[in-house]
């Protein structure tokens, strides 16, 4: 993936998150994100808590896209053979329905002048730490590849540096944003899926499948690695997928 395509996909991800799913709060960088040395220092320090990492990223605006719940996305491209994408959820709000509703109410009061910005921020700071949703990162590095030992493309779920989930696909910002939205923002996703809601014409699950099918394959992926557990396309026979789809579409979510 070249720089121009990576940039196009960042902007596509913003359109998806903001215009379609109504999740967007702000986009401050619609090209590859430069490395913020202070954020990197804190993120790599073994003694740093996730709360510290998240707060440094938020306060330094070390992100491309900020969501309504103050979670954010980072998209960084280095070369055709190396890029990084990360989703950092808000550990006080994301995945906690009650907290999300309370924050929405406080922000409405702030807009009406009933609360100052400082008062609303103080109230948010007092919410209990939940950590309901893990940070997710996708790395692709051809130079870092070692067969079995270090997949060229892989996911990190959580913060363990050895927690690498091999991926056989060269995912970009659009696929990454859709994956996160589908997994962690189902209230916004489901109304746009014909598998969940009757009468949907432009199904987001079908769109997601099309984006995944259009993604390139990782060249550095051996036959041995293909036989092991990994994230990729067509992990089950394609006939079962085609068969299965109409059954779901005939059973809309109630």
pTM of this structure: 0.88
Sign of the CA dihedral with 209 first, then 213, 214, and 220 last? positive
Domain ranges of the chain: 3-95+130-249
From first to last of the 254 residues of the chain, give the pLDDT tens digit.
999 999 999 999 999 999 999 999 999 999 999 999 999 999 999 999 999 999 999 989 999 999 999 999 999 999 999 999 999 999 998 998 888 788 888 778 877 877 776 776 677 778 888 889 999 999 999 999 999 999 999 999 998 889 999 999 999 999 999 999 999 999 999 999 999 999 999 999 999 999 999 999 999 999 999 999 999 976 554 444 444 444 444 455 54
Transcribe 178-243 into DSSP letters.
HHHHHHH-HHHHGGG-TTTSTT-SS-HHHHHHHHHHHSEEPSS--HHHHHSS-B-S-SS-HHHHHH
Q: Tens of pLDDT along 6-53?
A: 999 999 999 999 999 999 999 999 999 999 999 999 999 999 999 999
Q: Tens of pLDDT along 181-205?
A: 999 999 999 999 999 999 999 999 9
């Amino acid at each position: 993936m070249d720089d121009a395509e990576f940039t196009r996909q960042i902007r596509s991800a913003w359109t998806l998150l903001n215009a379609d799913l109504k999740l967007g709060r702000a986009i401050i960088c619609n090209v590859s994100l430069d490395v913020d040395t202070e954020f990197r220092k804190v993120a790599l320090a073994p003694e740093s808590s996730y709360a510290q990492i998240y707060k440094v990223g938020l306060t330094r605006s070390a992100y491309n896209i900020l969501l309504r719940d103050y979670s954010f996305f980072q998209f960084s491209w280095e070369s055709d053979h190396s890029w990084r994408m990360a989703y950092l959820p808000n550990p006080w709000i994301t995945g906690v329905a009650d907290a999300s509703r309370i924050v929405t109410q406080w922000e409405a009061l702030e807009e009406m002048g009933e609360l100052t910005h400082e008062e609303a921020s103080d109230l948010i700071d007092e919410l209990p730490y939940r950590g309901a949703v893990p940070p997710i990162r996708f790395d692709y590095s051809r130079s870092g590849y070692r067969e079995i030992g270090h997949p060229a493309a892989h996911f990190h779920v959580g913060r363990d540096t050895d927690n690498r989930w091999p991926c056989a696909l060269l995912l970009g910002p659009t696929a990454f944003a859709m994956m996160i939205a589908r997994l962690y923002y189902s209230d916004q996703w489901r109304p746009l899926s014909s598998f969940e809601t009757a009468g949907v014409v432009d199904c987001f699950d079908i769109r997601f499948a099309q984006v995944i099918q259009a993604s390139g394959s990782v060249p550095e992926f051996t036959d041995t690695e293909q036989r092991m557990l990994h994230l990729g396309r067509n992990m089950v026979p394609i006939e079962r997928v085609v068969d299965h789809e109409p059954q779901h579409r005939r059973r809309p979510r109630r």
